[in-house]
Amino acid sequence: MFEKILIANRGEIALRVIRACREMGIKSVAVHSTADADAMHVRMADESVCIGPAPSSESYLSKAAIISACEITGAQAVHPGYGFLSENASFAQALEDHGITFIGPSAEHIRIMGDKITAKETAKALGIPVVPGSDGGVADFETAIGVAEGIGFPVIIKATAGGGGRGMKVAKTPEELEIAFRTARAEAKAAFGNDEVYIEKYLQKPRHIEIQVFGDGKGGAVHLGERDCSLQRRHQKVFEEAPGPAITPKMRSEIGAICANAMSKIAYIGAGTVEFLYEDGNFYFIEMNTRLQVEHPVTEFIFGVDLVREQIRVASGMALSFTQDDLEINGHAIEVRINAEKLPNFAPCPGKVRTFHAPGGLGVRMDSALYGGYSIPPYYDSLIGKLIVHGRDRPEALSRLRRALGELIVDGVDTTVPLFHALLAEPDIQNGDYNIHWLEKWLAQQF
């Protein structure tokens, strides 16, 4: 087992990894930008290293600075968290070249899944059902119109290199397609430096259902059921739950087995998430994330496992500490993402937190790096905490969430807490009756 792990991240996820390290008797190293000198992850880690100025391009994304920090501190492995360098194949490769373990999949698997067209082709070859669409990239409008007419309108144009919900355009008619095709390519070029796009059937009322998978790198792989992450704003998740209200045990074990088998065939190592759109009983693969996800705690709650601990174990060459048969769902869990944002426009709202009080009690988990007196810097993501609750069933989880939200105090900055109070009062949310378009439609009516 490793003696020392460096965490190449900040905020709540850095704390999450430090906590797992401490429970496993592993020393932790925090890295930080100059803007984060007072951050909680720096205080909580055993050691810390400043790796550069505030902009993440010069600190949290600086491979050379992070590798130097490993050399200086003698860290044997790096946990990348999510975002930043967590899905950067050349970073995983560079670490390996320096004899440092990347706590995550191989550079090759990151590369395959990082390119959405290759990911889709790979998924298809591994027996995973995919969204109907173009075979690979579409370079000109004539081809685009041919594909769209073949699968039928509406269609969605997506950037091969896309991520974070960016670079997607919907077209309902050939006229719209012409404009959408051109703007999608231009936006993709500007955002990702790659103008390749592909076309998919645009599903009208799907749910976003994702399967948590875990591989031991030796051909052993399991699935840990699904999360329903359909409540999204601008293709970004805001509320996630497990198990999915629309998924039956039979569907779960079928799609779960397909995903676990696929991971076993490629000898995948570590945590991964296979994302699907789900409509009328069918699953359609959209992409795979080769890292720990923001919403992993809902899965941890219902299965009673520590996913970060498992990531560290398999990265060090140990076996998974559970088999598929050991994994049994217990109750229901919900996560809400608390962002420092001002409603109704969700404008980022950094600033000084005067008071912070985290909710507690049975079945409540608050993952946050806030503390009273902390100044949220303007340079990074607006996520300031995740409130996760667990109940014996969905109604209990919902009332626990309502109760816990009422206890939470974040004084000094605006947050998305009022959004969740309002959502919990909605019958559709109480009934689990929503799809990926529900939240946008509801928001448009509210404000």
Contacts of 233 (CB under 8 A, 6+ apart): 346, 439, 440, 443
Q: Catalytic pick from 111, 291, 394, 400?
A: 291
Query: Per-residue contact track with ligand ADP, 379 to 418, x per CB under 6 A?
Result: ----------------------------------------
Judged by CB, which is closer to ligand ADP: 27, or 169? 169
Judged by CB, which is closer to ligand ADP: 167, or 256? 167
CB 211 within 8 A of CB 223: yes
Judged by CB, which is closer to ligand ADP: 160, or 311? 160
Element (H, E) at 376: strand 375-376
Separation of alpha carbons 174 and 155, rounded Å: 10
With left for phi above 0 and alpha for psi between -120 and 50, is residue 11 left, alpha or beta? left
Q: DSSP characters for 86-139? A: TT-HHHHHHHHHTT-EESSS-HHHHHHHHSHHHHHHHHHHTT--B--B-SS---
**Region 255-314 residues binding ligand ADP, contact defined as CB under 6 A:** 275, 277, 286-287
Judged by CB, which is closer to ligand ADP: 202, or 301? 202
Q: Least distance to ligand ADP from the beta carbon of 159, Å?
A: 8
Q: Least distance to ligand ADP from the beta carbon of 113, Å?
A: 11
Q: Least distance to ligand ADP from the beta carbon of 200, Å?
A: 4
Query: Per-residue contact track with ligand ADP, 231 to 260, x per CB under 6 A?
Result: -x--x-------------------------
The reply to whether 166 belongs to the active site is no
CB 196 within 8 A of CB 160: yes
Element (H, E) at 208: strand 207-216
Q: DSSP characters for 385-446? A: EEEEEEESSHHHHHHHHHHHHHH-EEESS--SHHHHHHHHT-HHHHHT---TTHHHHHHHHH
Q: Least distance to ligand ADP from the beta carbon of 276, Å?
A: 9
Q: DSSP characters for 15-59? A: HHHHHHHHHTT-EEEEEEEGGGTT-HHHHHSSEEEEEE-SSGGGT
DSSP state of 193: S
Query: Per rule CB under 6 A, is residue 6 in the interface with ligand ADP?
Result: no
Q: Which pairing describes strands 47-52 and 27-33: parallel, antiparallel, or unpaired? A: parallel
Which of 74, 127, 150, 164 is close enough to bind ligand ADP by CB under 6 A? 164
Judged by CB, which is closer to ligand ADP: 35, or 238? 238
Which of 55, 163, 217, 348 is close enough to bind ligand ADP by CB under 6 A? 163
Separation of alpha carbons 250 and 233, rounded Å: 30
- Scanning 53-61, 173-181, 201-209, 352-360 for contacts with ligand ADP by CB under 6 A, the matching segment is 201-209
Separation of alpha carbons 433 and 278, rounded Å: 13
Which of 208, 223, 227, 313 is close enough to bind ligand ADP by CB under 6 A? 208
Q: Least distance to ligand ADP from the beta carbon of 185, Å?
A: 16
Judged by CB, which is closer to ligand ADP: 207, or 332? 207
Residues engaged in binding ligand ADP (CB under 6 A): 131, 156, 162-166, 200-203, 206, 208, 232, 235, 275, 277, 286-287, 436
Active-site residues, by number, are 291
